[in-house]
Structure 1
Amino acid sequence: MKISVVLCTFNGERFLEEQLTSIAQQTRVPDELVICDDRSTDSTVDIAHDICRRYELNGVIEVNKERLGVEENFSYAMGKATGDVLFFCDQDDVWVVDKVEKMIAPFQDDPQVTLVYSDGWITGPNLEQTKYTLFNKNPRKHLLDGDTRPIGTLLKQGNAPGIKASSMAFGSRVRELAGPLPDGVAHDSWLAFFGYVAGKVVAVPEQLYSYRRHEHTSGKSSTNKLISGLEHVKKVESQVAQLQEKTILAHRIFERLCEIEDTGLAGQNVPSRFAALLQDAEDAARTLGARAMIHEQSGVFSRMLQGMFCLIQGDYVAIEGFIPKLKILRHDVLQR
């Protein structure tokens, strides 16, 4: 089994050596380390070359010809990896020494496994631990449940899978079904969802890496508020914008699932939940899109008319039960 680690870098000189060293010192050293640098202006690339030479890592290091941005860079880097199992990692994290060994074990034990994700410590800039981990900071995500998580229901509710890309390892089958990362979609949400589409998902309850937060992640992650001394600027986004973003994710997933079905790409090994996820994605895109249209109306009366029209024609299909539909409709009309 060939193991690839995919790392996207940008001005990461402060923490990169520590992360790369933790990868090089794994009990199961990866067979390939793909690094795509998004035109750093510091010594990031030099550090990457130095660590790969020092530890004799099979490093594939490339500097982008033009700046791609986070999501496009991850998509590009993923396409260059040649492993049977791919790991994503962030430039500022640190891996526990047996992270790779423990995360590839489910793939070796069960050929149906397509995605594995682990817990991780949420730490400060100097790796000072908190009482929080990725799994316990938000119990409502039910990250411990792995394959039994109601991923379709989450999508219909407008929620992403909630699995960090830096916590996951996935088989090449996931990459094949996920296809190129579409515009406007976070790579971790996209790949996590298609992990469930492709096969079995396993959650490893151990903290296998340190998910480091520091001043340069300030304002970009809700986990910053868990670290003493770090500023957290709450993301201010209108309800319309939030619903539009959620609609894009659901719609892109639905389009890709239809493409998989129409082309026969799924083959005979598709999980039994494929049809249900296809329907969930269609329902989610329809309901979230309708709700966004209601929020776009300028007055309560206009929103009420639009809302009643959407309710009557069945656009609230993703919400189960008439009373829950009315509660969401009321929220959409009053925008609170």
Structure 2
Amino acid sequence: MHCYDKFRARTHFRFDPYDTSSMDISIAMAAYKGERFLREQLDSIARQTLLPSELIITDDSPDSGTHDIAVEFARSVPFPVRIVRNERRLGFHENFFKAISLCRGEFVAFCDQDDVWTNDKLERIAKEFADPDVMLVVHGVKVVDADLNVRPDNTAAHWSYRGVHEPLTTNPWYVLFGMSTVVRRSIYDYIDWHDRPEHPVDPGYPTSHDTWAWFVATSLGKIFAITDELALYRQHENNSCGVSADRDMGETVKRSRSAGAAHYRRMAMAASGRAEKLRQVSPRAPAQIQQRAVTAAKYYRKLGERLRRRANLYSAATATLKRVNTVFRLLASGAYQPIDKGGLGHRALLKDVHATVFHVSIE
């Protein structure tokens, strides 16, 4: 049996103490020239055991191919489908933010145009939002090729979190795969997403919709990561984003060694930008959310200060004695505790000590 047929036929029979039938879930899809795979994704949405309250499609295509498929689909389903064609090309990230901004549901499921969902994806995820403190739920996926055959490099390593995580207890720079994510719509009301800080990994670009969701959700509440593979994550030659190859230890070390003053300054600026955004939390947000925003702002401000000190450590103008002092001060302040506790990690300590002893400079 083809992987797609097995996936489509999957059924679960289990007692459910939490009634998800009234869950108000919007689906946000940013589309661009999606006619090759779009219909399969739309059909998988129509088969959901918990149907969405609406599907929003923002079409960035220059032609009508994607639009025509979406219009035909909208006529055949019992839930509203809103199709918005952009007057000018917005690009992947801004197109996604537009789709999200048009959603009216209590929850928003990010949806790529070229994947296929299991029939129970929305129902399975909805259960985890029974806890009102959960702001984001992410699930596992099955990595497939263009024809939906499981790829040999299908791996769970790209989705490294499992279970429930309290606020500020995850890697703040984690690369979230948006296509496997559902969030509370309110996180976009609590912290304004306009004029976002620069993307921490891609200099010159504003923070992407999924990176923003991870930042705000992990700052203001819990996240829940489930192991269930609830989507076929299709990899093909035209992916806007995709699964990167697993790096071996040698490549990881090489990339780490190449990071220097400019990289850490950029990360410091990103952290400071996040702190500023958190300080601007909406006064209409619940008191608990406002307090968490204050705590998270302090967290990111401290992280930014640590990264700035680290950047100076790798400047050619910094003398060895000053470097020694910087490392000791960072160590004493707890800066090298694990990354998921707001620190730089033990590998950072090893690298910084090596740079100090051998006076390594990386601009």
TM-score (norm 1): 0.78
Partner of 1:232: none
Partner of 1:279: 298
Question: Alpha carbon RMSD of aligned pairs, Å?
Answer: 3.5
2:65 is the alignment partner of 1:48: no
User: What's the offset of the Cα at 1:100?
Assistant: 0.9
User: What's the offset of the Cα at 1:331?
Assistant: 5.7
2:30 is the alignment partner of 1:12: no
Partner of 2:224: 202
Bigger shift: residues 53-62 or 67-76: 53-62
2:350 is the alignment partner of 1:334: no
Q: Counterparts of 2:120 and 2:29 in 1: how far apart (Å)?
A: 18
Q: Deviations over 1:2-27 (max 9, x none)?
A: 22100001111111111111111211
2:214 is the alignment partner of 1:162: no
Q: Counterparts of 2:76 and 2:105 in 1: how far apart (Å)?
A: 22
User: 1:137 is matched with which residue: 157, 162, 174?
Assistant: 157
Partner of 2:188: 175
2:164 is the alignment partner of 1:146: yes
User: 1:319 is matched with which residue: 326, 330, 335?
Assistant: 335
Structure 2 residue identity aligned to 1:9: A
Q: Counterparts of 2:88 and 2:142 in 1: how far apart (Å)?
A: 34
Structure 2 residue identity aligned to 1:166: M
After superposition, the Cα gap between the structure-2 partners of 1:302 and 1:268, relative to the gap in structure 1 and judged at 3 Å, is closer
Q: Deviations over 1:276-302 (max 9, x none)?
A: 43332112222224444555x4x4x55
Residue aligned with 2:136, SS: strand
Structure 2 residue identity aligned to 1:202: F
Bigger shift: residues 283-292 or 202-211: 283-292
Structure 1: unaligned runs, 5 residues or longer? 227-234
Partner of 2:10: none
After superposition, the Cα gap between the structure-2 partners of 1:137 and 1:327, relative to the gap in structure 1 and judged at 3 Å, is closer
Mapping of 1:103-122 within 5 angstroms?
103-107=125-129, 109-122=130-143
Mapping of 1:162-241 within 5 angstroms?
162-181=175-194, 182=196, 183=198, 184-217=206-239, 220-221=241-242, 223-225=243-245, 239=259
After superposition, the Cα gap between the structure-2 partners of 1:258 and 1:18, relative to the gap in structure 1 and judged at 3 Å, is same
Q: Counterparts of 1:335 and 1:154 in 2: how far apart (Å)?
A: 26
After superposition, the Cα gap between the structure-2 partners of 1:290 and 1:77, relative to the gap in structure 1 and judged at 3 Å, is farther
Partner of 1:231: none
Partner of 2:54: 32
Residue aligned with 1:205, SS: strand
Query: Any conservation in 1 of the 2:59–2:86 contact (CA below 8 Å)?
Result: yes
Residue aligned with 1:162, SS: coil
Q: Counterparts of 2:86 and 2:107 in 1: how far apart (Å)?
A: 24
2:80 is the alignment partner of 1:62: no
After superposition, the Cα gap between the structure-2 partners of 1:323 and 1:132, relative to the gap in structure 1 and judged at 3 Å, is closer
Query: Any conservation in 1 of the 2:336–2:349 contact (CA below 8 Å)?
Result: no
Structure 1 vs Structure 2: percent identity of aligned residues?
27
Query: Any conservation in 2 of the 1:88–1:167 contact (CA below 8 Å)?
Result: yes
Partner of 2:112: 90
Query: Any conservation in 1 of the 2:276–2:297 contact (CA below 8 Å)?
Result: no
Residue aligned with 1:13, SS: coil
Q: Deviations over 1:41-91 (max 9, x none)?
A: 461121111211233541111111211122222222211111111100111
User: What's the offset of the Cα at 1:93?
Assistant: 0.9
After superposition, the Cα gap between the structure-2 partners of 1:173 and 1:216, relative to the gap in structure 1 and judged at 3 Å, is same
After superposition, the Cα gap between the structure-2 partners of 1:202 and 1:89, relative to the gap in structure 1 and judged at 3 Å, is same
Larger proportion of helix: 1
Partner of 2:340: none
